[in-house]
Chain A
Amino acid sequence: MSGDLAFLADTTLAIARAVPVTVGLFAASAVGATLLGGLLVMAQTRRGTRECARLWIFVFRGTPLLLQIFMVYYGLAALGPIRHGPLWAAFREPLFCAFVAMTCCCSAYIAEVCRAALAAIPAGQIEAALASGMGRWTRLRLIVLPQLVRLALPAYGNELVMMIKSTALASTITVMDVTGVAGQVIAHSYRTLDVFCLAAAVYLGLTGALTAALRYVERRLNPVEGTR
């Protein structure tokens, strides 16, 4: 029994040490995907770049993230310009490849979320802003962005929760995140159930904390509705 306890304590410690990897991967790709997603939204407003943005969104939303991760880690590594080029130092790192794949994939979803929210802003408001002589940046800052943030937040939050869960896929390309460490512990202890449940609890804690934080932000941004 004490052996069991010691094993669980050791495993908990090992998994806890991997939490920064999971959280770091999530945070980096969340920032990257949001920036790239914003770029995709902007690209869709111009005629020449619209088709590129649509194609990007179509490809990354239509294929599994696991396949994209393998494409970046194994597929790109087989290409000459990457293998022998200056980028090889970055692309040989599995963690970097997971970050690239997740950024590309989630940017497509975030762009769709933002597009839907933009479409929900009444056209009359933009016209009114134009009529009152607001410039492009003033319009964006005073009229579009405040509403965009509020309208997009629930769906954007869902994407962020999905992203935390998606970081587990990095373990398939040898990244030692929470899932990777759990798999390693199982490989030499053969105790599948308790170790995986421990890892699942960690993810539940992470997604739960994120959901709570998002709800708080949503309430703060919608003070009137939030008091219901």
Chain B
Amino acid sequence: MITDDPAPMLLLGFGPDGWGPALLRGAGLTMALALTAMAIGMVLGAGLAAAGASRVRWLRAAAAVYGLVFRGVPELLVVLLLYFGTPGLLAAGAALLGLADPGSPPAFLTGSIAIGLVSAAYQAEVFRGGMLAVPRGQIEAAIAAGMSPATRFRRVIAPQVLHRVLPPLGNIWQFTLKDSALVAVTGLSELMRVSLVAAGSTRQPFAFFAAAMVLYLVLTSASSALFRLAEARGMRWAGGTGGV
């Protein structure tokens, strides 16, 4: 794929002119960004799922509107809005409280929050499905059998919910990982940004975008292998219903 003249290979390597270390650092930052966004999305998504199942009508409505907005607006717009919008909001808020202008928040923070906000909308759906995984009768049976809440959770609820929630969560993780590339537009030097900078300064865009593609493929396929392993484990845990 890469042309046979040696320059691109040298540029991609780990020598003094090589961009190898920078690309690997970028991949590390991409991982950190995606993990942070996934964690934010998980907490917020669980909250949204709880709000969606609550008896309070306006909480349910708020959760529904949140899902509608963040699944209907491009992720890029959310990233841009948070990155360019928060400094103004923060300054206005600080002025209201009589504080000094705090300046712009770090790109990592706004980026992971933006991707996390989108991820939360999708994770809420998954958790909503997961909550339906345990029939009421099983909880009642567990109580009747004298299980403590902790044992109930560990033996009855967790295995079935995890079993149901893991495959779709793996899917959302893949999307979150790929969405993290959008944070490159804010200048954060994650993998996408590093490949862009390297492509510009070496004038070898094909080689560097190809290298970034390979690194993204490594990240996505390694994490999907990990999820498959966890799923297989989960099936065994759930009593082999999946036939592993």
Task: List residues of chain A with CB under 8 Å of any chain B CB.
Answer: 58-59, 61-68, 70-71, 74-79, 161, 165-169, 171-172, 179, 182-183, 186, 192-193, 196-197, 199-200, 203-204, 207-208
The distance from the CB of A210 to the nearest CB of chain B, in whole angstroms, is: 10
Whether B192 contacts A208 by the Cβ 8 Å rule is: no
Instruction: Pick the residue among B68, B77, B81, B192 that contacts A67 (CB under 8 A).
Output: B192
Interface size class of B (residues with CB under 8 A): 35 or more
15 contacts between A and B (CB under 8 A): A62-B217, A64-B180, A66-B181, A66-B184, A70-B199, A71-B206, A71-B209, A71-B213, A165-B72, A165-B73, A165-B74, A166-B74, A167-B74, A192-B81, A196-B81
Q: How far is the CA of A203 from the CA of B217 in the complex (A)?
A: 30
| Complex alpha-carbon distance, A197 and B71, angstroms | 15
Question: What are the interface flags for B70-110 relative to A under an 8 Å C-beta threshold, 1 for contact and 0 otherwise?
Answer: 01111111001100110011000000000000000000000
Judged by a CB distance under 8 angstroms, whether B236 is at the interface is no
The DSSP consensus for interface residues of chain B is helix
- Chain B residues in 8 Å Cβ range of A77: 205
- In chain B, what residue has the closest Cβ to A183? B80
Chain B interface residues toward A at CB < 8 A: 68-69, 71-77, 80-81, 84-85, 88-89, 174, 178-182, 184-185, 192, 195-196, 199, 203-206, 209-210, 212-213, 216-217, 220-221
Chain A residues within 8 Å of B221, by CB: 58, 62
Given A70-B205, A71-B213, A64-B74 contact (CB < 8 Å): no
Q: Name the B residues within 8 Å of A75 (CB-CB).
A: 199, 205-206, 209-210
Most buried by B among A67, A161, A171, A186: A67
Q: Across the two chains, which residue of chain B brings its CB closest to A72?
A: B209
Contact B184 A208 (CB under 8 A): no
User: In chain A, what residue has the closest Cβ to B30?
Assistant: A64
Report, nearest first, the 5 A-B pairs whose CB atoms are least far apart.
Answer: A168-B74, A64-B181, A207-B72, A74-B205, A75-B206
Contact B76 A179 (CB under 8 A): yes
Is the Cβ of A63 less than 8 Å from the Cβ of B73? no
| Residues B81 and A63 in contact, CB atoms below 8 Å apart | no
Say yes or no: A58 contacts B217, CB within 8 Å: yes
Q: Is the CB of B209 within 8 A of A74?
A: yes
B147 to chain A, nearest CB (A): 37
11 additional contacts, CB 8 Å, given A77-B205, A208-B72?
Answer: A64-B180, A70-B209, A71-B206, A71-B209, A75-B206, A165-B73, A168-B76, A171-B76, A199-B77, A204-B69, A207-B73
B191 → A minimal CB distance (Å): 9
| Residue picked from B81, B89, B199, B217, most chain A C-beta under 10 Å | B81
Residues of A contacting B69 in the complex (Cβ-Cβ under 8 angstroms): 200, 204
How far is A64 from B184 in the complex, measured between Cα atoms in Å? 12
Q: Are A67 and B206 in contact (CB under 8 A)?
A: no
Cα–Cα distance between A64 and B68 once the two chains are bound (Å): 23
> Hey, which chain A residues are within 8 Å of B71, CB to CB?
161, 207
Q: How far is the CB of A53 from chain B (nearest CB, A)?
A: 16
Closest to A204 in B: B72
CB-nearest residue of chain A relative to B203? A78
Chain B residues, CB < 8 A from A62: 216-217, 220-221
- How long is the Cα–Cα vector from A66 to B182 in the complex, in angstroms? 7
User: When chains A and B are docked, how far (Å) is the Cα of A62 from the Cα of B213?
Assistant: 8
Q: How far is the CB of A76 from chain B (nearest CB, A)?
A: 7
**What's the nearest-Cβ distance from chain B to residue A159, in Å?**
12
Q: In whole Å, how far is B228's beta carbon from the nearest beta carbon of chain A? A: 14
A111 CA / B221 CA spacing, docked (Å): 18
Alpha-carbon gap, A70 to B211, bound state (A): 13
Q: Is there contact, CB below 8 Å, between A203 and B210?
A: no
Q: In the docked arrangement, what's the CA distance between A68 and B178, Å?
A: 11
Contact call A64/B178, Cβ cutoff below 8 A = yes
Enumerate chain B residues within 8 angstroms of A204, measured Cβ to Cβ.
Answer: 68-69, 72-73
